[in-house]
Structure 1
Amino acid sequence: MFFDSWNEFFRVLVMAGLAYPILIAAVRASGKRTLSKMNAFDLVVTVALGSTLATILLNRQVALWEGAVALGSLVTLQFVTAWASVRFRGVRRLVKAEPTLLLHEGRLLHDAMRGQRVTPDEVRQAIRAQGTGALELVHAVVLETDGSFSVISRSQHGSGSAMDGVRERRTRHHDV
């Protein structure tokens, strides 16, 4: 059905006009991290915020104040979890994945790729996207906690201090 009634149409407009500023206020009060994509946990919270806003707008059985409480609760829980993960290692381990080394010194780490469900073609694509045409020119490829790939060329490796905290499984290396 394309259209129920003018009343519903105007209800959605009014709810959007009221709920949107509530969302903006909640996000601004909680800080920049609320809408970041730093890790999978942050992504889930961002999707949940969008879903909650949509429910507020489209479900007439959800009152505006109930939606505001839901948005505020999600933002508060995300803030508390992020705060605790910075201060407590156990919380950090619970909610955050570790970056994983997928290629080292030009050699694919097949066990690590298999463990992260990444194909060699995906690693090669990430390398090509950085403008590099040969695996042997790459020092490392890291699957980051947000699902992106970081490609570190041999010429940019330096001391390697950026690799601290990257999980390197003791795996067998395979030549490509």
Structure 2
Amino acid sequence: MDGYLQILIELIFGYIALFALTKIMGKTQITQITPFDFISALILGELVGNAIYDNDIKFQKVIYAVVIWGILIFITEILTQKKKGLRKLLEGKPSIVIRKGKIDYGMLKKAHLDINQLQHLLRSRGIFSVRECEYAILETDGSISVLRKSSYEPVTIRDLNLPRSPVKLPVTLILDGEIEADNLLFIKWNEEMLFNEMKKFGIDSEKDVLYAEWREGEELFIQTY
């Protein structure tokens, strides 16, 4: 029974310590988490976990370690606010992954990001087609900021008194040099039809294509490596 009571006390004190530390460090630790912040959170959890499951470690020492770690993080936050060089080292810097409407493949590789992940991030910003994007910036917390092309900026149809047009979903046909066979079937195309469209752009092989996208009523969008 004493063992259960000790675990209860340690959990309560650990909860209070972590909660207080989170409040001190501010909301950016959660909403704008960087790799350094992620590691910091793991270490904080490990410190409290050690107190619960390792009987050789006194809980007072763990509280002391949590406080010291919190002070170090707090000092680091102050330094990153004042020293730009240190800020780049600990937090990284944003990367432009789409520049002037073109995917920067080299920057994607440097950021360890593939085309599928880029598409996912764009969709999270309400952009379902690469052709709508003029610039896309991968932020240090893993999110993406997007600047649409002027022709794709949202407008209020009601204000312009324009008739509503049906929404057309773009379909990826080639990704990283490979044909998406299921998507071809979805739009009722075959490889011959796809190659005929590619030849209009002077492209003979799908291996040369980084990304190809189809949307009903529009020209095929193709970007090579």
TM range, smaller chain: 0.7 to 0.9
Aligned to 2:10: 15
Residue 72 in 1 paired to residue 67 in 2?
A: yes
Query: 1:91 offset after TM fit, Å?
Result: 1.9
- In 2: Cα distance, 1:97 partner to 1:24 partner: 27
Where does the alignment leave 5 or more consecutive residues of structure 2 unmatched? 154-209, 211-222
Q: Is the 8 A contact 1:130 1:151 kept in 2?
A: yes
Aligned to 2:111: 116
- In 1: Cα distance, 2:101 partner to 2:88 partner: 29
Aligned to 2:41: 46
TM-score calculated relative to the size of structure 1:
0.76
- Over 3 Å counting, the alpha-carbon distance change for 1:62 and 1:36 in structure 2 is farther
- In 1: Cα distance, 2:125 partner to 2:26 partner: 31
Counting matched residue pairs gives: 155
- In 2: Cα distance, 1:127 partner to 1:50 partner: 32
TM-score calculated relative to the size of structure 2:
0.61
* 1:96-129 per-position Cα deviation (integer Å, ceiling 9, x unaligned): 2001011123211000001111111211222223
SS at the partner of 1:82?
helix
Structure ranking higher in strand proportion = 2
* CA RMSD between the two structures: 2.2
* 1:1-37 per-position Cα deviation (integer Å, ceiling 9, x unaligned): xxxxx44333211211222222223333444344453
Instruction: Tell me which structure has the larger Cα radius of gyration.
Output: 2
Structure ranking higher in helix proportion = 1
Partner AA of 2:114 in structure 1:
T
Partner AA of 2:71 in structure 1:
T
Residue 89 in 1 paired to residue 84 in 2?
A: yes
- In 2: Cα distance, 1:130 partner to 1:25 partner: 33
- In 2: Cα distance, 1:94 partner to 1:51 partner: 24
Aligned to 2:122: 127
Aligned to 2:190: none
